[in-house]
Amino acid sequence: MYPRICVTIFATIVCAGLLLRRIRGNHKCKIGVFSFTYSSALPTMGKVRPPLRAVSQHKRLVFAAVAISTLGLLALSPLSLTPTTWHITLRLLPQTTDSLDSHPLPPTPDLPEHKYVEGGRVKTTIGGGHPLRRLIADAEATWDNLVKRQSTTLATAAKEYQRRYRRQPPKGFEKWYQFARSVNFKLIDEFDQIDRDITPFLALPHHIMQHRLDHASKDDHSYHFTIKDGNSSIGGPLAHWDIAAEFGKLIKPFVKNLPDMQFYVSGHDGGPTILPEDMRLAVNKVLKEGKRLTEEEVMHLDDLERNPRRGVANACLEDPVTFYPSALPERNLHTHTFISDHRASMSFCTNPTILNNPAKRHGYFAYDVPHQRFASPLFVQSQPEAGGALLHPALQSYMSAEKYYNRFGSIAPWQNRSEKVFWRGRTTGEWFSQAHDWRFSHRIRIHTLTTPDGNRTDPNVTPEVEVLVEDGLDEGVQLRTYSRDVLNEKYMDVSLIGPPAQCDDSEVDHTCQTMAESLSWGKETGWDAGLSNKFLLDIDGNGWSSRFQRLLTSGAVVLKMTIFPEWNSDWLIPYYHYVPIQTDYSDLYDTLAFFAGTPDGLPGHDDLAKKIGSQAHKFTTEQWRPEDMQVYIYRLLLEYARMMSENTDAMSMA
């Protein structure tokens, strides 16, 4: 046996050495039980080249080392000593059968890696490959894996539910599954958002749950549903709202399958609660032990005074302002970072700049609002990432693909679209007064960044901007300086719509008047405005943006700035269906230069932009239908019925 091994190793070295020679064609090497066939032919990209002329001496040594190591291991393995005849084809470069559509970008050479930093961001290393290349490629793989892994039977769906959530599915899961299949629902396993929302309630004692439900019923800006004997009725202060009737229409097809219950739906833009991080940790701990929190533990976790920090920051385990250096004042708006984890970027605990940095602040956190610190069984259409209520599909401004086509006609051809970014909006987002500087609101900041006189109202707006550019794959990304006016002329069609809104117009304050005189204002536009642009901005107002679904349907690339996860955020893949943008807009010019090219003629990746827009349109027509919202609400209500029950086991699938 040992002589055979020695001979095999020697033969391996000899055969690998032949790879370094300029030998054309196929060659065979047969030693003992091994038969090797290798080829020196290289895959070509439109041209026929001498096999090794494009390969450096360094690469040849690397390939030789790989060949020697691999074949040596085969020789020493037990399998190599069996009488099986092996036929191995060796090539100098790997070949792939993947289509160009699945990998539209050519691979970049070995370049410096980028650094992932707090707040769900990746920081660019100058000289490295463009971060958006990797983010887009990863997004494509994420979506492909998501679609492929879905359960195809009731049994496998129930098993996957148990694997993910460590409990039985709720009672009625079988009929829910049948309903989902009947409407051709695609993502049968993807309901992690519902689990995030209901998990805190599963750890509460039943009498506390009932108290919370009673508290939710007294919300003066809500509408109420009562399900009794397979029928529903609407009540509450907002029962007259059209949106309440629309909600009733959504549940009508399956209401006969629902257990008796009452639930309460908020009409507010944002949720009323912020759930502390230590509350979630305590919930996970007791549920893992098969227990519930005691009343004393709940009272302690609900107590706002147990943490000396003011505002929403007291919901974080660590003081975010001191724990993360990025929370300290930072005036440079062009740090060349991109969002790598959209949900993490929405968290004020891991991305605290959205709390108090004037150049990055989100208006939702502008006030020391006394948000509740406990889980509330109130249904909400929007809440921050740390929210403690039950997120449901938002119906405000929803427009199905069919209604979209009826109103706006067909989707605009890509080649006929403007390359500018379009956005119009009012000054919502916070209340403005002399006590709260309006200049740094997230909506006003996008206006001042993109208008010629922006530096009159925002000292962070500089006349020149450094932009990431690609000047050949081998070079990596570099910085190039442009005039802000030149960039805005190429990229931007952005404006506020007057008059000023949500501002103090009293005789002693005059904030509305100051805003009116300091800002330039655009004219009001219809819903069809911007639908012929390649890029559309989507920016939060007081809460989430109700435009998102409609903008995705347009087939444009939606550049989305938000701190509010959608009910279907687990289905929407950043950089596949849309492109996330930071609250300070520091990545906006870099992103547009990548897709649309630069003012001085460096080409962009228009094909990738078109692909993302097409994927967004397909998503809304296939995964954001009324039927998809019905499937989500149906499952949410089954989970809600169980969590409100005194006997949760009896409300679980047998």
d(CA 378, CA 272): 9
Using a cut of 0.85, tell me whether the model's pTM lies above it: no
Least confident of 21-30, 205-214, 420-429, 592-601: 21-30
Strands (E), 432-565: 464-470, 477-483, 492-496, 533-539, 557-561
Q: How confident is the model at residue 321 (pLDDT cuts 50, 70, 90)?
A: low
Residue with tokens 């805003």: 515
CB 93 within 8 A of CB 43: yes
d(CA 125, CA 131): 9
d(CA 553, CA 397): 13
- pLDDT for residue 105: 54
- pLDDT for residue 644: 96
What letters, b where the CB count within 10 A reaches 16 and e where it falls short, cover 480-495? bebebeebbebbbbbb
The pLDDT tens digits for 368-387 are 555 677 899 999 999 999 99
Q: Chain centroid to CA 153: how far? A: 28
pLDDT at 489 over 70: yes
First to last CA, the chain: 60
Amino acid sitting at position 66? V
CB 551 within 8 A of CB 539: no
Question: Nearest 5 degrees, angle CA 491-CA 496-CA 500?
Answer: 165
CB 390 within 8 A of CB 641: no
Q: Cis omega (within 30 of 0) on the bond before 499?
A: yes
CA distances in angstroms from 311 to 314, 355, 644, listed in the order given? 6, 9, 30
pLDDT at 93 over 60: no
d(CA 505, CA 431): 11
Q: Which residue has the higher pLDDT, 457 or 318?
A: 318
Residue with tokens 């006969």: 256
Q: How confident is the model at residue 148 (pLDDT cuts 50, 70, 90)?
A: very high
Bridge partners for 206 per DSSP: none
- pLDDT for residue 92: 27
Q: Chain centroid to CA 404: how far? A: 24
> H-helix or E-strand containing 579?
strand 579-580
